[in-house]
Amino acid sequence: MKSHCFPGKKIVNHLVMAALLAAPALAAAQQAKLKVGLMMSYTGTFSGPSNAATNGFKQFVNENGGKLGGREVEYFAVDDQADPAKATENANKLIKRDRVDVVVGAIHSGVALALAKVARETNTLMVVPNAAADELTGVLCAPNIFRVSFSSWQPAYAMGQHVGKKHKNAVTLTWKYAAGLQMVEGFKEGFEKKGGKVAKEMTLPFPNVEFQAFLTEIASIKPEAVYVFFAGAGAAKFVRDYAAAGLNKSIPLYAPGFLTDGTLEAMGDAGQGLLTTLHYADGINNPKNAAFRLGYVKAYKAEPDVYAVQGYDAAQLLDAGIGAVKGDTAKRADLVKAMEDAKIDSPRGAFTFTKAHNPIQDIYLRKVEGRENRLVEVTSKALADPARGCRM
């Protein structure tokens, strides 16, 4: 019988041809899963922030159907134990053993610096969800390294400007390590720009908490303000000692947000009314924040914090970049460009990136009320880290 052209035959032929031609393209689109390596401090004192950041990250991915940029996500996690000495090994677990496509880490600055070194050597894409070391988007900046949190300089400079509006001299005190020294440098810069003068910069070896000598010194200098950087148990002890020495009645105390993040319970009443600066606060009023907080509480039965926001935004950034290259992470140059140009609709407020890949964001002034750091005002709008030493 003649194939009287069952009229659709040609069409079927064409369809089959099309399918055969499309198959490779389809296969390419049906890509392998996106391997996301999470390197954070899941044990030890940074476990809270690490879990929060991971939760935030996963929350976005889940809201997006389990995908980033159209590709399904497969997680690999390594606990870096906040130990910089083991960081290179741990980084290699993700990069060389698990061969991840992108590393999201770290929370601890020392670990992040070691991780960044490995990322640069292996040209692995890296998104920093917390670590504040200025170098990451400064001297050590690289096309494949992005940060969605903040640099030490940002809240410090903002606080310096704020204090400079009201006071003319101040004294600083912090631990003698990179994070502390950067926080003080940033403050000094902002403060001096407003005409203030830092009368004395004091340090003590990390992690000493014997503050009495310094409190006595402050009492004898009688500055108009005191700016400190401490975190964790040390922060709680300092604030309590400051109050116990009676200094909080006469000399106002200022600090970046980490003095009062996670330490309010340990500080008790001594911490009430403290003013700090950070890129997030309780009471930020925008729809994204409301939706984010609702979703987080529903998924994890706990209130989100700045770390959760940063994790969420890390996922947003990757989604923007990978989506722009349609999931083809091999197109590294295009991927990076898309990430550089991304505008992140963050719960903290929308932000973009500097050339060195650090967020240009609003810094908020917060006040401790009860167990919260309540938003007072925006103390610096769209503050960009100067990225000193970056050669990009």
Partner 1 sequence: MDFYSFLIQVLNSIQYGLLLFLVASGLTLVFGIMGIINLAHGAFYMVGAYLAFGLTSLTGSFVLSILLGIPLMLVIGALLEWALFSFLYERDHLEQVLLTYGLILIFEELRSLIAGDDVHGVAAPGWLSASIPLGDTMSYPVYRLVISGACILLAAGLFFLIQKTRLGMLIRAGSHDRDMVQSLGFNINLIYRTVFALGVALAAFAGMLAAPVSSVFPGMGGQVLIVSFVIVVIGGIGSVWGALFAALLVGFADTFGKVFVPDFSGVIVYVLMAAVLLWRPEGIFSKK
Partner 2 sequence: MNFPYSLWSKLILLAALLAFPALDMPFYAELVAKTLLFGLFAMSLGLLVGYTGLASLGHAAYFGIATYVVALMTPGYEAASFWLTFPAAVLISAASALVVGLFVLRTKGIYFIMVTLAFAQMAFYLFHDTALGGGSDGIYLNARPDATLFGSKLIDLDKPLHLYYLIVLVLVLGYLFLQRILQSPFGRVLAGIKSNEHRMRSMGYPTFRYKLAAFTIAGGIAGAAGYLYAVLFGFITPELLSWHHSADVLLMVILGGMGSLGGAFAGAVAFIAMQEIFSSFTKHWQLVMGVVIVVVVLFLPGGLVAIPRRARAAFFGGASDE
Where along the sequence are the contacts to partner 2 (CB under 8 A)? 42-43, 79, 83-85, 87-89, 92-93, 96-97, 110, 114, 117, 176-178, 205-206
- Which residue shows structure tokens 């410090």? 156
Residue 15 CB, nearest approach to partner 1 (Å): 60
What does 216 bind: partner 2, partner 1, none (CB cut-off 5 to 8 Å by kind)? Answer: partner 1
Residue 122 CB, nearest approach to partner 2 (Å): 11
Give the C-alpha separation, 87 to 80, whole Å: 6
CA distances from 361 to 106, 149, 212, 344 (A): 20, 10, 37, 10
Residue 173 is a binding residue for partner 1 (CB under 8 A): no
Among 262, 304, 311, 359, which residue sits at the site for partner 1 (rule: CB under 8 A)?
262
Give the C-alpha separation, 184 to 204, whole Å: 13
Which residue in 297, 389, 323 sits closest to 56, CA to CA?
297
Residue 250 is a binding residue for partner 1 (CB under 8 A): yes
**324, amino acid identity:** A
- Site residues for partner 1, window 353-392 (CB under 8 A)? none
- Site residues for partner 1, window 37-76 (CB under 8 A)? 43-45, 47-48
Measured CA angle at 141 (ends 139, 147), to 5 deg: 125
Residue 171 is a binding residue for partner 1 (CB under 8 A): no
- Site residues for partner 1, window 213-232 (CB under 8 A)? 213, 215-216, 219-220, 222, 232
Residue 245 is a binding residue for partner 1 (CB under 8 A): yes
**263, amino acid identity:** T
User: Contact 115/137 with Cβ under 8 angstroms?
Assistant: no
- Site residues for partner 1, window 184-213 (CB under 8 A)? 204-205, 208-210, 212-213
Residue 181 is a binding residue for partner 1 (CB under 8 A): no
Residue 34 is a binding residue for partner 1 (CB under 8 A): no
Q: Measure CA 46 to chain center.
A: 13
Give the C-alpha separation, 143 to 323, whole Å: 18
Q: Which is nearer to partner 1, 311 or 349 (CB)?
A: 311
Quick count: other Cβ atoms within 10 Å of Cβ 222?
Answer: 12
Give the C-alpha separation, 89 to 123, whole Å: 17
DSSP labels, 357-377: S-EEEEEEEEEEETTEEEEEE
Residue 95 CB, nearest approach to partner 2 (Å): 8
Residues in touch with partner 1 (CB under 8 A): 43-45, 47-48, 204-205, 208-210, 212-213, 215-216, 219-220, 222, 232-233, 236-237, 240, 244-247, 250, 262-263, 265-268
